[in-house]
Amino acid sequence: MAKVYFMARFRCAPKSTQQYNLTRYIDETLQNIINVFDDFNYFLLMKNRLQELKTLRLRYITNTQ
């Protein structure tokens, strides 16, 4: 839906505005992609931390028995 709205706005705008809108659209798209990778990196970081906690817990259990 947003893409259709953007294309309609893009076609009606003057040439300089079209270029500005296209640049802005590309910038926003790239930022969204970067945000997804940041979220994924955060997910991997948390996964590693949880794995470390699990390892520490298992080590604690084996040391206390």
Q: What is the pTM of this model?
A: 0.50
At residue 1, the pLDDT reads 43
What are the boundaries of each domain within the chain? 2-64
Phi-psi region of 13 (alpha: psi -120 to 50; beta: other; left: phi over 0): beta
Regarding predicted confidence, which is higher, 8 or 38?
38
* Separation of alpha carbons 10 and 61, rounded Å: 63
Q: Is the pLDDT of residue 23 over 80?
A: yes
